[in-house]
Amino acid sequence: MAEADRKLSDGKSRIDFKTYPSRYRHWKLATEGEVATLTMDVDENAPLFEGYQLKLNSYDLGVDIELADALERLRFEHPQVRVILLRSGKPRVFCAGANIRMLAGASHAHKVGFCKFTNETRNAIEDASENSGQRMICVVTGSCAGGGYELALAADHIILVDDGSSTVSLPELPLLAVLPGTGGLTRVTDKRKVRRDHADVFCTTEEGIKGKRAVDWKLVDEVAPNSKLDEVVKTRTKEFAARSDRPADAKGIVLAPIEVRATANGRESKHVSVEIAGRIATITLRGPDAAPPANAEALTAQGSAFWPLALARELDDAILDIRMNEFDTAAIVFKSTGDAAAVLAYDAFLDANKDHWLAREIRLKWKRVLKRVDLTSRTLVTLIEPGSCFAGTLAELIFAADRSYMLVGQRGGDNRPPAAVALAPVNFGAYPMSNGLTRLATRFLDDDGAVESSRKTAGKMLDAEAAEELGLITFALDDIDWEDEIRVFLEERASFSADGLTGLEANLRFGGPETMETKIFARLTAWQNWIFQRPNAVGEEGALRRYGTGQKAVFDTKRV
């Protein structure tokens, strides 16, 4: 039975995050030299679930899954693309934002998961601009409202057609009693530097802002009349392309479909297996079974089968599957199996070829996947046992975990060498968290010496006692205590309030500086999470429920 055919407890099909261009229903992707055009043309009769239509280029998770896939393919399959033009395929509307009927009927967990994935997709646009030289220009024609404007906000440059009717707006508060939760508030103030009073007016005005005022208030970068729109777009495209370092003559790789097989208790792909027992999901990552290629040309030849890229894509898909299909899972346990020295060899290969476009994209993919792990609202646990390969890039899963346990010595009857962890240069800068710091720097916020002590061990295999002394793991346990300690911890964790744990873990994971990303995922997401449960938004007389019925919402007027 194919994994996508498995049903959830409520009878709905599992949400599948794997897609490819020939399956798109909502986006059209075209490339011409250094320019790609992403056209949003949502099929209103193809929602992810039944019960609503995606009118006016409104979107649900299915639309965003396609967008995320298109953005990923532009990075890997089209290295020559330097500028992405984001446009609407509908007349008189750019995008009406997240579909209101979908939000009104979705479970709370689905709404929150949808907003998180959408935010991560917007962040991927900004990451491609900052680190991959792939800029985005958003051409707004017609109404650009709510999540539609939040999508535009992720672009480098917004051009609004000056036709007397095209507008940008964030009308969630006055219309729906919720917030522009996919980063809208934060990007308006922190990215576009809109004045607080102007932002207040903007976010409480249903009809939006157009023309010269939108430019004056920094809501868009420029306006152009219809008669000059194509000329302006062409000029800006050339300007942005000239500033990109994307290779003009490189040949991309094909991102082959990830093959996943359903098992009795989970799922299996080539490098990642997931087993779910009770409320615990165990993800086992398998190390490489061959040495790294000889050179960058051989890397390109391997394409999406190259072990670090294949593993990253499979892990990403597994995390998303647990997030949106296994809501009752209390904890994710990370395990690994393989040769730690081989993992370090692949990291060294990517270091040696860091100027090659594909090596760069693979590292950036891992950065995004590890951030996805950080932002997953499940308890994260890493178990380092004999035969594991938590080294270099994979060691990041130790530092991403809320707790980590490492076995001292060997198990009785197991002749594999004792567990070891190993650091590499990649652990000291390649994979920053949302706060802009590495996971090691976040772990040792007040102790630069601890980070330097760890750096000096790079390349060495560290046993449990050494790893514990350096502060790289939480506990080192011998074989006598291992099973009982792990069992008691997981049972205890599963007994706690899921809501309380989400709040606890999200607060503890992101120490240090506040950035636009931490504001979006911690402050803004937390408030939206709360507001999504309040009767003013989702109650029978709430704004989300009554939108479009002709009945006015009835609010509880007490401030909380």
Between 88-102, 389-403, 524-538, the lowest mean confidence (pLDDT) is in: 524-538
User: Would you say 552 and 176 are in contact if contact means Cβ atoms under 8 Å apart?
Assistant: no
Where residue 195 falls (left for φ over 0; alpha for ψ -120 to 50; beta otherwise) is beta
Q: Which of 203, 186, 200 is nearest to 519 (CA)?
A: 186
**What pLDDT is recorded for position 522?**
87
Taking 80 as the threshold, does the pLDDT of residue 1 lie above it? no
User: Would you say 71 and 40 are in contact if contact means Cβ atoms under 8 Å apart?
Assistant: no
With a CB cutoff of 8 Å and minimum separation 6, the contacts of 156 are 129, 135, 136, 137, 240
Beta-sheet strands, E only, within 89-169: 93-95, 97-98, 135-140, 143-145, 157-161, 167-169
Structural domain boundaries in the chain: 3-242, 264-509
Average pLDDT over residues 375-380: 97
Start-end of H helices in 177-306: 184-186, 196-202, 211-216, 226-242, 296-302
User: Would you say 296 and 336 are in contact if contact means Cβ atoms under 8 Å apart?
Assistant: no
**What pLDDT is recorded for position 12?**
61
User: Would you say 118 and 79 are in contact if contact means Cβ atoms under 8 Å apart?
Assistant: no
Average pLDDT, the chain: 95
Looking at per-residue pLDDT, the higher value among 132 and 7 belongs to 132
In 65-100, which positions are buried (b, 16+ CB within 10 angstroms) versus exposed (e)?
bbbbbbbbbbbbbbbbbbbbbbbbebeebbbbbbbb
Does domain 264-509 bear CATH number 3.90.226.10? yes
Report residue 63: phi and psi, to 5°.
Answer: -65, -40
333: helix, strand or coil: strand
Between 9-13, 91-95, 168-172, 261-265, the lowest mean confidence (pLDDT) is in: 9-13
Integer Cα distance of 269 and 257 in angstroms: 11
Q: Locate 360 and state its tokens.
A: 């760069």
User: Would you say 139 and 85 are in contact if contact means Cβ atoms under 8 Å apart?
Assistant: yes
Average pLDDT over residues 120-131: 97
- Give the model confidence (pLDDT) of 217-256 as tens digits: 999 999 999 999 999 999 999 999 999 999 999 999 999 9
Taking 50 as the threshold, does the pLDDT of residue 412 lie above it? yes
Q: Locate 557 and state its tokens.
A: 């007027």
- What is the DSSP secondary structure assignment for residue 338, as one 8-state letter? S
**What pLDDT is recorded for position 413?**
82
Beta-sheet strands, E only, within 309-415: 331-337, 379-384, 403-407
List Cα–Cα distances, 358 to 362, 363, 396, in angstroms.
Answer: 6, 9, 21
Q: Which of 240, 210, 41, 38 is nearest to 139 (CA)?
A: 38
Taking 60 as the threshold, does the pLDDT of residue 184 lie above it? yes
Integer Cα distance of 261 and 207 in angstroms: 49
Taking 70 as the threshold, does the pLDDT of residue 17 lie above it? yes
Taking 60 as the threshold, does the pLDDT of residue 515 lie above it? yes
Other C-beta atoms within 10 Å of 412: how many?
Answer: 6
Average pLDDT over residues 64-87: 98
**What pLDDT is recorded for position 377?**
95
With a CB cutoff of 8 Å and minimum separation 6, the contacts of 229 are 139, 141, 159, 161
- What is the DSSP secondary structure assignment for residue 56, as one 8-state letter? G
Taking 60 as the threshold, does the pLDDT of residue 499 lie above it? yes
User: Would you say 444 and 423 are in contact if contact means Cβ atoms under 8 Å apart?
Assistant: no
What band does 415 get if pLDDT is binned at 50, 70 and 90? confident
- Could you say which architecture CATH assigns to the domain 3-242? Alpha-Beta Complex (3.90)
Integer Cα distance of 163 and 50 in angstroms: 36
**What pLDDT is recorded for position 3?**
44
Integer Cα distance of 457 and 391 in angstroms: 12
- Give the model confidence (pLDDT) of 265-309 as tens digits: 999 999 999 999 999 999 999 999 999 999 999 999 999 999 999
Integer Cα distance of 316 and 362 in angstroms: 13
User: Would you say 509 and 373 are in contact if contact means Cβ atoms under 8 Å apart?
Assistant: no
What band does 13 get if pLDDT is binned at 50, 70 and 90? confident
Taking 50 as the threshold, does the pLDDT of residue 156 lie above it? yes
Taking 60 as the threshold, does the pLDDT of residue 9 lie above it? no
**What pLDDT is recorded for position 4?**
42
DSSP class per residue in 279-324: TEEEEEEE--SSPPPSSHHHHHHHGGGSHHHHHHHHHHHHHHHHHH
What band does 411 get if pLDDT is binned at 50, 70 and 90? confident
With a CB cutoff of 8 Å and minimum separation 6, the contacts of 326 are 276, 281
